[in-house]
Each structure stands twice: as C-alpha cells, then as structure tokens.
Amino acid sequence: MMLCTCTWCTAQAQANAPSALQVGIWASSCMACHGPEGRAEGTGLTIGGKSAEDLFGKLMAYRSGAVKATIMHQHVKGYSEDELRRIATHFSSLK
Ligand code: HEC
C-alpha cells in the first residue's frame, strides 16, 4: 500500500471522519471471502446490498462474542464501532 502524504489525504486524516477511500480500503479486505462488491454467489456469504443496520448488527454481535463465528470475530476486533458502521454502510450501498 502506498503511503500518501499529499495535502488532501493529510487533511482527511486530520478530520475525524475517515474518507470514502479509507472505508473502501477496509472493505477490500473483506472481499477476499465475501466476493467483489460483497457478492460471494452460492456461498451464503453475500453481504453487498443488504441492510446496513442488519450488517452492522451482525458485525457487533461477532465483536461482542454474542454470535459465535469461525473467522469473523477475529476480523471485526480490528475495527472500532464507528469503523464497522461505516464498513456496513459501504457494503449496503453496493447494489
Ligand atoms: C477469511 C474470510 C473472511 C473475511 C476476510 C471476512 N469474512 Fe465475513 N464471514 C466469513 C465467514 C466464514 C462468515 C460466517 C461466520 C463465521 O463462521 O465466521 C462470515 C460472515 C459475515 C457476516 C454475516 C453474514 C450473514 O448474513 O450472516 C458479515 C456481515 C460479514 N461476514 C462481514 C465481513 C466484513 C465487513 C469483513 C471485512 C471487515 C469480512 N466479513 C471479512 C469469512 C470472512
């Protein structure tokens, strides 16, 4: 990954909200298993286009351990609640 030091990125990093680009980078790590655009056809792992609240709820349940997972509990622990909300919203917007 390239380290970006341009003025725009620096300004984005200083503002509290992560840029759309940043959220897209987080989301790209999910696509290895959930497919491009969050559509892993035929696997039951499609998350693209689903309700953001539903996706967010599932991510938080994995994070708290309320829902047992084989893999996901490890992934979601790397993100804050706010970051998971943004990732959920991102996948939800992929129609
Ligand atoms: C190594 C493969 C892998 C990666 C990477 C991965 N997932 Fe998952 N995901 C799974 C598996 C497998 C499940 C089923 C639950 C389990 O066993 O962990 C799942 C389940 C889910 C579910 C619940 C789906 C449903 O309908 O019940 C959501 C939402 C989800 N993942 C989102 C994400 C997000 C967001 C990321 C990136 C931060 C991500 N996943 C990264 C493999 C992965």
CA dihedral of residues 85, 66, 70, 49 (deg, nearest 10): -30
Task: Give the contacts of 93 (CB within 8 A, at least 6 positions apart).
Answer: 52
Task: Determine the residue of 25, 30, 80 to mutate for testing ligand 1's pocket, defined as the one with the most ligand atoms within 8 A of the Cβ atom.
Answer: 30
Mean pLDDT of 46-56: 97
Q: Which residue has the higher pLDDT, 16 or 26?
A: 26
Which CATH number, 3.40.50.300, 3.30.499.10, 3.40.50.1360, 1.10.760.10, labels domain 19-92?
1.10.760.10
Q: Which residues line ligand 1 (CB under 6 A)?
A: 29-30, 32-34, 45, 47, 55, 58-59, 69-72, 75, 87
Q: How far apart are CA 8 and CA 68, in angstroms?
A: 40
- Domain assignments of the chain as residue spans, ordered by start: 19-92
CB 55 within 8 A of CB 92: yes
Within 8 A by CB and 6+ apart from 17, the residues are none
Residue 51: band (very low, low, confident or very high) from pLDDT cuts 50, 70, 90: very high
